[in-house]
Amino acid sequence: MTNKLHIVADENILLLDEFFADIATLTKVNGRTINASQVAHADALVLRSTAQVNAGLLQASQVQFVGTCTIGIDHLDTSYMDSQGIAWTNAPGCNAEGVCDFAISAINHAWQQHGVDPRQGVIGVVGAGNVGGRLIKRLQAAGLQVICSDPPKQQNLPAAHQYVPLDELMATADIISLHTPLTKTGPHATMAMINGPLIDSIKPGAVLISAGRGEVVDQQSLQARLAKQADLQVYLDVWEQEPNVDTGIMTYCQTVTPHIAGHSLEGKVRGTEMIYQSLCRHFNLPIRQTLAPLLPAAAVTELTVSADMSAAQLLNEAVNSVYPLLADDESTRRALQGVEPVSEAFDLLRKEYPIRREFSTLTIHGVNSEADQKMLSGLGFRVS
């Protein structure tokens, strides 16, 4: 095209050049520190959740379109953009499969290290949207018992989701996985929704996986319970006040990670593709690029297991062939412990996060038990 668009984009978005270079001049910036002068002459912004997009950033600009390559929109002032006629969009569901993989990896760790057998207990999923809804379907397909709580969606949830009130879920589930967006106002605001009383109601020995938004959990109350009783298995991926996180809670958690639950390669580039398509539609441009030819083959695509492996051994082998969660935990603790300012270390972990693939890239051979085949395929693996 003769008159290319000018796009200001977060430098950490994968495949920016591959998707956008032929239709735009790209200016790459640090999304966390993006400012009004950088976007003044941009036609469009392509960003992530680290960028705060509001009147202060946009009011002196010519921006017509804002796309965030993430599922959340709590970093976007959508009311302001609507009032100014600025089109905006997110990428709902782009990294949902990666977050599901993360939650299942945490469940696997709790089974291996603490004997919390997901086949014997109840798994509670809080939030039944793009991520939580898919996680529920995977867990149920694996033959596991699942309950869920999502008040805004209560009336429209499938009967199979087994809806229960939040207080009941928190008090009865053996494994709790949090997947709600962050909303600060309204009848179903999620800010500090998992408060002190709910945290205290979780039964001893339960597993708590936090992979939605950090501010949904009252982190001080959680840390207070852990410091007092140390009777929960906590897998913490999202934190209050990112990137200026309080690392004091790390001591009490089974694993800690820097908000990377959805950072699979597929999740990242799926978001880029979705925003590329939306931008092309907005500016009436042909959609020429597609994701499939841009994805490399996974490092490990086949796994043959022994016929005498138990269900726990099979899941552990499969999970760690794709996503060794403990490696992320180790690198996070090493990078954040005793470091000042912690914000820089936190962001660097996210920026330099290694390539991680999704469970669906792995085909498992040699599983004889139909129950084990159902479990593994339900949880997202391919079983031959």
**What count of other Cβ atoms lies within 10 Å of the Cβ of residue 62?**
12
Contact 359/107 with Cβ under 8 angstroms? no
Residue 299, token pair as written in the block: 């490092």
The catalytically annotated residue of 109, 179, 259, 356 is 259
* Three-state secondary structure call for residue 216: helix
Sheet (strand 233-236) strand order:
145-149, 122-126, 175-178, 207-210, 233-236, 255-256
Concatenated DSSP letters for 65-100? EEEESSS--TTB-HHHHHHHT-EEE--TTTTHHHHH
263 assigned to active site? no
- Please report which residue ranges of 283-341 form alpha helices under DSSP H: 311-322, 325-336
259 assigned to active site? yes
Task: Classify residue 204 by burial, with Cβ atoms within 10 Å: 0-12, 13-18, 19+.
Answer: exposed
213 assigned to active site? yes
User: How do 87-89 and 44-47 pair as beta strands?
Assistant: unpaired
Helices and strands in the chain, H and E counts: 14, 14
DSSP 8-class letter at 128: -
Sign of the alpha-carbon dihedral angle for 184, 161, 71, 172: positive
Cα 209 from Cα 354, distance rounded (Å): 22
The catalytically annotated residue of 32, 134, 213, 357 is 213
Cα 134 from Cα 84, distance rounded (Å): 35
CA distances from 72 to 78, 122, 136, 245, 383 (A): 12, 28, 19, 19, 32
Cα 265 from Cα 296, distance rounded (Å): 10
The catalytically annotated residue of 240, 242, 273, 358 is 242
Number of residues in the chain: 384
Cα 182 from Cα 73, distance rounded (Å): 9
* Three-state secondary structure call for residue 200: helix
* Three-state secondary structure call for residue 363: strand
Which residues are marked as active site? 213, 242, 259
